Amino acid sequence: MPKRIVSGIQSIGHRVIESIWRLGLASRFFILVLLKSGTSLRRFNLVIRELYFTGVLSLIIIVVSGLFVGMVLGLQGYETLQKYGSESAVGTLVALSLVRELGPVVAALLFASRAGSAITAEIGLMKATEQLAAMGMMAVDPIARVVAPRFWAGVISMPFLAAMFSVMGVFGGYLVTVVFIGVDEGSYWSQMQSAVDFRFDILNGFIKSCFFGVAVTAIAVFEGYDAPPTAEGVSGATTRTVVTSSLVILGLDFILTAFMFRGVS
């Protein structure tokens, strides 16, 4: 019995040490990506190409999801607010929910599943098919040529995608509450305009989405680069990207919200 307990503790210890070791490896990799970003900045066309794959191709899912989330918010908000005779404030509810929280968070979650997984799979497969090794043999650094452009494309795309999500959400809320239910259009927009603060709401939402963009893309490129060069290895890395990114987004959101909105009425 004690032997079993000891081996159990040993196994937990192993896992903890391995996780910490991997965290250190990921941090070193992240620093390396930043240090080797010169090529991406000098040859910005490399980043633009990746912006298409990570940003533009993610637009459809972001636009459609944003629209539906906004519509649901409008419905739920109207349902609750009308009980207190405040249905005209539904625009405020929709906008603040989206700009402060749902825009950056849901867009980042969708971005992690759509673009993050694609980045991991692509880099992982390039490794498995020796394309990264071939690049190294040609005296071209794969981190500078493959990883850094994808990282920066993700970081740049994320705030725009979050903004697009919020815009579509506000429009979705407008469609449901104003066009279908019949809430006064003037109240919807004017209450929203007076309640949403640029500094506290829009800028903070933008900052959040920047943090999420860095986190998701850093995780995606690391998992791809670190993936064992097998089919199993790449599939495992892709799953880890989505799971880890989602958890990091939600955890980071709480920390950022605590710092940003503490004491703000």
CB of 129 to other proteins, least distance (A): 6
d(CA 22, CA 82): 52
Residue in 10, 129, 194, 239 binding other proteins, rule: CB under 8 A:
129
Residues 6 or more apart from 180 whose CB is under 8 A from it? none
**Beta carbon nearer to other proteins, 126 or 192:** 126
**Beta carbon nearer to other proteins, 139 or 258:** 139
Q: Which two tokens stand for residue 252?
A: 């980071």
End-to-end CA distance of the chain: 57
**Beta carbon nearer to other proteins, 1 or 139:** 139
d(CA 136, CA 47): 20
User: Considering the rule CB under 8 A, would residue 56 count as an interface residue with other proteins?
Assistant: no
Q: Which stretch binds other proteins (CB under 8 A): 26-34, 129-137, 196-204, 243-251?
A: 129-137
**Beta carbon nearer to other proteins, 38 or 186:** 38
Of 54, 78, 19, 67, residue with least CA distance to 159: 54
Residue in 145, 150, 208, 240 binding other proteins, rule: CB under 8 A:
145
d(CA 64, CA 43): 33
d(CA 174, CA 190): 12
CB of 140 to other proteins, least distance (A): 5
Size of residue set near other proteins by CB under 8 A:
14
CB of 23 to other proteins, least distance (A): 23
Residue in 24, 44, 60, 130 binding other proteins, rule: CB under 8 A:
130
Total length of the chain: 265
CB of 43 to other proteins, least distance (A): 10
User: Considering the rule CB under 8 A, would residue 138 count as an interface residue with other proteins?
Assistant: yes
Looking at residue 159, the DSSP 8-state letter turns out to be: H
Tell me which residue has tokens 């799979």: 121
Cα 41 → chain centroid: 22
Binding site for other proteins (CB under 8 A): 126, 129-131, 133-141, 145
